[in-house]
Amino acid sequence: MTSLLLNTLAMAGKAPMESPAWDGFKNLVNALSVPEVSLPLIFFLVFIPMFVFYKWWTKPAVAALLGIVFCIFYFGSMLIDYDYLLIVTKADNVPITIMLVGVGVTLWVAFRRAAINDTALAQGKPLPVEGKDDKVLVWPDLVYTEMLCLILGSIILVVWSILLRAPLESPANPLGPPNPSKAPWYFLGLQEMLVYFDPWMAGVILPGMIVSGLIGMPYFDTNPKGNGYYTIKERPFAIFTWLLGFIILWVVLIIFGTFLRGPNWNFFGPYQYWDSHLSVPLTNINLSDYVWVFGLKQPLPDNPFVREMPGIIFVIFWVCVLPVILAKTIMRKMYNQMGMLRFAYMALHLVIMGMMPLKMVLRWVFTLKYFIYLPEFNLNL
């Protein structure tokens, strides 16, 4: 039924609504969605204000308005653009819509509660959760909840599997790989990282650091504030860093991979036709080329280690020296609280996470390919 509805929408969208009147809007959105524009926009106009104005935007009326605007923009776009409609209604991408709505709702819940708690703390009042008895009985409270979840989950899965066709494709053919070849939706963030890093880095080291960071989090974050209640004011760094990694470097990259990556893994606007013959110049230059050829005006040295010395120095600085500088300057208080080992563990993950946006920005601005480029040893960074 849903697919029928969507097909109707598609038919409707294809013919009458695709009028030139929308072209200006579409072109603007397409131009803004280029990653070198959209990611800074998302970071500075959405992510940072989300923290600064969290007491304002989480008010139910404002949040509802924001949600309605988002839904109009997100679902309404299907009416005015057929290419966008194809992306959103593709069976692979239905989870993306659910994820977007889910992330928005859970973020609102967390920020709303944090706003209430922080206001109470600022006024010296007790927290709303304090004094409440939050104990529930296993029987019947928990078991009934579980049973209802079981029934609802089963119904949703059955209905989903009936209404949406499984996105099966033709038998695999090495001569004709799907173009674009996309990972499952939850791995699109990883696939996006692979564009900027060597497979070893983006496929092994960075995911490994995500896992080890998640494992280590309870051990290096010993701040007792926020235990059992939402707060932002009492632990701004932890929440900001966590959401930076989760929202910007994971969810947003999944959205990029879903909506903006087209044939040949080129960037396309959400309202742009996926032209597999589109020619996009993407020439990338290594840091060693920049230093030796453009900077020092001489050919690359023969010895690969001399050749890559600038990148090696930079990476050693970034991974080994930068945490020390942070510990001595802006994070001195944190360093004193956490102690050397905990801080080192945290800072290592922090700077390596920071490498991701750094590399993306450098790729967009300077078309930088690799800091260290040692194909002789299959080692690139």
By beta-carbon proximity to another protein, the closer residue of 242 and 274 is 274
Q: Is 141 in the site for another protein (CB under 8 A)?
A: no
The token pair that represents 205 in the structure block: 């080291």
Q: Is 284 in the site for another protein (CB under 8 A)?
A: yes
Residue 178 three-state SS: coil
By beta-carbon proximity to another protein, the closer residue of 263 and 354 is 263
- Burial string for 212-238 (b: 16+ CB within 10 Å, else e) reads ebeeeeeebbeeeebeebbbbbbbeeb
We find the least distance from the C-beta atom of residue 181 to another protein, in angstroms, to be 5
The region of 20-28, 132-140, 174-182, 237-245 touching another protein under the rule CB under 8 A is: 174-182
Q: Is 172 in the site for another protein (CB under 8 A)?
A: no
Binds another protein by CB under 8 A, chosen from 30, 97, 223, 264: 264
Helix axes 82-89, 60-80, angle to 10 degrees: 110
- The answer to whether residues 361 and 280 touch, using CB atoms and an 8 Å cutoff, is no
Binds another protein by CB under 8 A, chosen from 242, 265, 274, 318: 265
- The answer to whether residues 367 and 294 touch, using CB atoms and an 8 Å cutoff, is no
Q: Supply φ then ψ for residue 267, to 5 degrees.
A: -85, 135
Annotate each residue in 177-196 with x if it binds another protein (CB under 8 A) or - if it does not, as one string: xxxxx---------x--xxx
- The answer to whether residues 86 and 92 touch, using CB atoms and an 8 Å cutoff, is no
> Which residue do the tokens 């960037």 mark?
267
We find the least distance from the C-beta atom of residue 308 to another protein, in angstroms, to be 12
Cα 129 to Cα 117: distance, rounded to the nearest angstrom: 9
Annotate each residue in 201-240 with x if it binds another protein (CB under 8 A) or - if it does not, as one string: --x-------------------------------------
Q: Is 380 in the site for another protein (CB under 8 A)?
A: yes
Binds another protein by CB under 8 A, chosen from 81, 118, 198, 308: 198
Q: Taking the mean position of all CA atoms in its chain, how far away is CA 203?
A: 16
Quick check: bond before 178 cis, omega within 30? no
* Binding interface with another protein (CB under 8 A): 174-175, 177-181, 191, 194-199, 203, 263-266, 277, 279, 281-284, 369-370, 373, 375-376, 378, 380
